[in-house]
Amino acid sequence: MDFEPTIVSFLCNWCSYTGADLAGTSRMKYAHNIRIIRVMCSGRIDPIFVLESFKDGADGVLICGCHPGDCHYHEGNYKCLRRYHLLKKYIAQMGIDPGRLHLEWISASEGKQFAELADSFTETVRGLGPCHVKEIIENFA
Partner 1 sequence: MEEVRIGVYVCWCGNNIAKMVDVEDVSREMETLPNVVISRDYKYMCSDPGQDLIISDVKKHKLNRVVVAACSPRIHELTFRKALENAGLNPYMFQMANIREHVSWVHRSRENATKKAKSLVAAAINRIQWHEALNKRSVEIDPATLIVGGGISGISAALEIADSGKQVYLVEKTSQLGGYAAQIDLISPFMYNAAQLINPKIEHVYIHPNIKVFLNTQIEEISGYIGNFETKITNSENQSIELKFGNIILAIGLSTFNPSKIQNYKYGIIPDVVTSLELEQVLKSGKILTNDGNVPQNIAIIHCVGSRNSNYHEYCSRLCCKNALKYSNLVRSAIPDANIFEIYADMRAMGNGCEELYSATSLKNVMFLMFDQKNGLPEVREASSKDNCKMLIEFDEKLSGERIEVPADLVILMVAKEAHKEAKKLAQTVGISMCGNQFFIERHPKLDPVATTTDGIYVVGSCQAPKDIPDSVAQARAAAARILGTINKGSVEVEVTTAKVNEDTCCGCQTCISVCPYTAISFDEEKQVSVVNEVLCKGCGTCGSACPTGAIRSQHFTDRQILSQIKGLLDKSFELQEG
Q: Applying CB under 8 A, which residues contact partner 1?
A: 1-4, 6, 8, 13-15, 17-18, 20-21, 23-25, 27-30, 32-33, 35-41, 43-49, 52-53, 56-58, 69-70, 72-76, 79, 83, 107-110, 115
Q: Which of 67, 60, 135 is nearest to 101 (CA)?
A: 60
State which residue, 84 or 140, has the beta carbon closest to partner 1. Answer: 84
Q: How far is the CB of 95 from partner 1 (least distance, A)?
A: 19
Q: Return the beta strands (E) in the chain as ranges.
A: 7-12, 34-39, 60-65, 101-105
Helical packing angle, 47-55 and 133-140, nearest 10° = 70
Name the residue nearer to partner 1 (CB basis): 26 or 95.
Answer: 26
List the end-to-end C-alpha distance of the chain, in Å, as a whole number. 31
Least Å from the CB of residue 129 to partner 1: 12
Rank residues 43 and 101 by Cβ distance to partner 1 and give the closer one: 43
CB atoms within 10 A of CB 94: 10
